[in-house]
Chain A
């Protein structure tokens, strides 16, 4: 078990007048190499939850184990934990500060006391992963980039640490469709190539349905569903709507077809599958008519 959360509870401003309970008994196990999606309505505690994964927040009660190591006991080398779990915050472009993109991406590896050659290799590798050309970009200022490019540099600055698990908090928020697809493709690529464990928070149901193997749904500080996206969107869509979440457009369409009397399979996540499914049902109908 790479990530193991045990009865995790967290309360903001404990024993203060503005006390708020954010996480209420989270139990979660994530294996190495899994690709997990995390969805939930705004304010349900997603961001708070992921900040526990590299020890930015200490739980009020409960335990966090990373790679078998309880990270909230004394004497744990937090740097090592943060090297294992790379956290990409929402709007990560707001954390850029260096003079050049090269030093921006080299910031993390430098803190790991690596040799200059190794740092260079990692910077080139990270830039390549996020599809930015080394020669054109390395010496430019990160502040001269477009929003999508800045986001990719920020992502690269985490990738250069080479974490075993990558946790991303809405990596595509506020991006244009093309940049969004680029970033998601890159994440998928990283997962495939290095076997990196990925936890992805997103509000984009289409993309998340398509990408992840396992979907977690959070509501009011608890994980209320933990299943494959297909099962959740097929069988539990009513609960999903009840907690303020939506379905991918195609799945919604299939559910509506079904409610109108067309006998389609509703656990469909992509347009292509939907097309095949509708054709299949239509063909059956045709056959039925012919038989009759």
Chain B
């Protein structure tokens, strides 16, 4: 149950900082460019520069480092896993041998590369969600996607779906916890037994959770219709997104840095 409380990946931490006040579109596009750049770079210097860029943003965002790295914790396992796979599975010059396990020089380099890539990738995206409220994130996405409306992308609908999904994550987590506790009180046991039994023991959680989620979706739909929601057409926004001088400056800086980095390295 503690696990459910400690999910900080994707959590928004309100603050008043340079990064928080950036236009969400700038933040989203910068993230995308940094991520694309990550896949062009095949040199440690490139990673160093990108890593430095992210570190700078973290410092400017005033978000506590503890928070940023707490979000990384669940992904650490995946990073370690890929590192180990690469260490042992790549053919090349053997630098260490233990029984049938061989670590190669190429494997080491490749593993570190992939780990760096994943590390920076997660850091970038989690910084985005840490510093951007779900609402401005979806507003930004809607604005960006509406550029593609001419090929039939339903920008508003996608953004609305995102908003609702994000809104209900904490609610559903809370509800899961409540149902789990209720079933434990009735004698359910989620911790012991083999895999089959443990999977079976999830049924008393999943069924009530789904039943409630569907009921809630129904209620929400009715509530939205009662408030005359008819889709995106002609819908105005409470907060208008406006590009300011800072946005332009920072966006230019990030784009030029990443483009130059991916060309040089």
CB within 8 Å of B: which residues of A? 13, 17, 51, 54, 56, 79, 82-83, 86-89, 92, 94-97, 107-108, 110-112, 143, 157-158, 161
B157 interfacial contact with A, CB 8 Å: no
**A/B pair count, beta carbons within 8 Å:** 61
Tell me the bound Cα distance from A158 to B204 in angstroms: 15
Q: Count residues on chain B whose CB falls below 8 Å from chain A CBs.
A: 22
Partner of A13, one of B5, B204, B207: B5
Q: List 14 A-B contacts (CB under 8 A).
A: A82-B185, A82-B187, A89-B178, A94-B178, A94-B179, A94-B182, A95-B179, A95-B183, A95-B208, A97-B204, A108-B186, A157-B186, A158-B185, A158-B186
Given A97-B207, A143-B211, A89–B187 Cβ distance below 8 Å? no
Please give, as numbers and ranges, the residues of chain A lying within 8 Å of B208 by CB-CB distance. Answer: 94-97
A79 to B13, CA, bound (A): 39
- Chain B residues with Cβ under 8 A from A107's Cβ? 186-188, 204
The answer to whether B187 touches A54 (Cβ under 8 A) is: no
The distance in angstroms between the C-alpha atoms of A158 and B175, with both chains bound, is 20
| Assembly CA distance A79 to B182 (angstroms) | 13
Tell me how far the C-beta of B25 lies from the nearest C-beta in chain A, rounded to whole angstroms: 28
A83 to B182, CA, bound (A): 13
Q: Which of B13, B181, B187, B203 contacts A83 (CB 8 A)?
A: B187
Contact between A87 and B207, CB atoms less than 8 A apart? no
Complex Cα gap A178–B189 (Å): 35
Q: Please indicate the chain B residues that have their CB under 8 angstroms from the CB of A89 in the complex.
A: 178, 181-182, 185
B residues at A contact (CB < 8 Å): 5, 13, 64, 67, 175, 178-179, 181-189, 203-204, 207-208, 211-212
A19 smallest CB distance to B (angstroms)? 12
User: How many Å from the CB of A253 to the closest CB on chain B?
Assistant: 38
Flag if B182 contacts A111 (CB, 8 Å): no
Q: Chain B residues near A88: list those with CB within 8 A.
A: 185
Q: Contacts A13-B5, A56-B181; is A97 near B203 (CB within 8 Å)?
A: yes
Per CB-CB distance, the 3 closest pairs between chain A and chain B, nearest first, are A111-B187, A97-B207, A95-B182
B188-A86 in contact (CB<8A) = no
Q: Whole-angstrom distance between the alpha carbons of A250 and B242 in the complex?
A: 60
Are the CB atoms of A108 and B187 closer together than 8 Å? yes
Closest A residue to B181 by beta carbon equals: A56
Chain B residue with Cβ nearest A92: B182
| Known contacts A94-B179, A143-B211: A87-B185 contact under CB 8 Å | yes
Q: How far is B8's CA from A17's CA once the two chains are assembled, in angstroms?
A: 12
- Supposing A94-B212, A96-B208 touch, asked if A79 and B181 sit within 8 A by C-beta, the answer is no
A94-B178, A107-B187 known, 4 other contacts, Cβ within 8 Å: A17-B64, A56-B181, A94-B182, A95-B204
Residues of B within 8 A of A161 (CB): 186-187
Docked Cα-Cα span, A158 to B207, in Å, equals 19
Q: Is the CB of B181 within 8 A of A111?
A: no
Closest to B5 in A: A13
| Contact (A56, B184) CB under 8 Å given A95-B208, A97-B207 | yes
B203 neighbours in A (Cβ, 8 Å): 97
- B189 touching A111, Cβ below 8 Å: yes
